[in-house]
Amino acid sequence: MIGVYDSGVGGLSVWKELRAVMPAEQFCYVSDGAYCPYGPKDPSFVIERAQAVARFLIAQGAELIVVACNTATAAAITTLRATFPIPFVGMEPALKPAALHSQSGVVGVLATAGTFKGRLYLNTLARFSGRVKVIEQVGTGLVELVEQGILEGPEADQLVGRYVQPMLEAGADHIVLGCTHYPFLTATIEKLVGNHAVIVNPAPAVARQAQRVLAELRERTGKKGPAGVSGVSTFFSTGPDETLQKLVRQIAGDAADGYLYHSLYII
């Protein structure tokens, strides 16, 4: 079983891609909605939550955990790998492909405050800041919007426009989504961006990396993968799960009828 973890529902954008490349696998998803958003919180708190959720997922039988949260990856991935005996896959900064493919020499990055402070992002920025101009924007309020299930409409248009329009005016031809919640706002972003910029979502690349890591793990341990063609997903939430269930059904369609949902108060 593969564990997937996020501060809320945003990690479903990664679960969607994981499910696409590994449809037979079983997934256990934890939304730490009681403490969402993570972006403005102290890194020590995010590390504590990440460790608690990892212990829970390992107890459920996870052989691999995908930290489907940019803020949690930035704060906790090193600690998680040093603490637990299973592999962890985190969210890699997508600044590299944006910088390599930019024609205008200007790239926008929309992320949380915690992500911008993370070592992975800062290392990537140092490598490519000489190649392109990077415009950073903290997407305050966007996570909360997605958690409420507000993905389109006047409120989403106004808030997304506040952050994206200055990037376009500065000449950005790539906009990097640095939070797993933001892909759920893609339709709203595309309406504003049009054909002026490419939206860069790292989730598909992360899913392929998780697939590689799992294959290497099973080859090393001799464990076999599932024999079926469609795995079951189970969802746990420490907070409200209305938006969680709505987005799962939007992604999985009729397959969501076989999924399980649980409230989680013990971690």
The 3-state DSSP composition of the chain as helix, strand, coil percent (nearest 5) reads 50, 15, 30
CA–centroid distance for 173 within its chain: 22
Q: Tokens standing for 228?
A: 């079926």
CA angle centred on 240, ends 234 and 243, rounded to 5°:
75
Q: Which of 145, 209, 208 is nearest to 182 (CA)?
A: 145
Among the options 67, 69, 91, 185, which is catalytic?
A: 69
Cis peptide preceding 87, ω within 30 of 0:
no
In the Cβ-directed half-sphere of 161, how many Cα atoms lie within 13 Å? 9
Rg over alpha carbons for the chain, rounded to the nearest Å, is: 18
- Contact by Cβ (8 Å): 124, 96: yes
**179 is annotated as an active-site residue:** yes
Residue 181's SS3 state is: coil
Among the options 9, 47, 67, 179, which is catalytic?
A: 179
Name residue, tokens 């992002």.
Answer: 121
Residue 234's SS3 state is: strand
String of DSSP letters for 237-257 = ESS--HHHHHHHHHHHGGGGG
Contacts with 220 (C-beta within 8 Å, 6 or more apart), sequence order: none
**28 is annotated as an active-site residue:** no
Which burial class, exposed, middle or buried, applies to 76 when counting CB atoms under 10 A from its CB (0-12, 13-18, 19+)? buried
- List residues with catalytic annotation: 69, 179
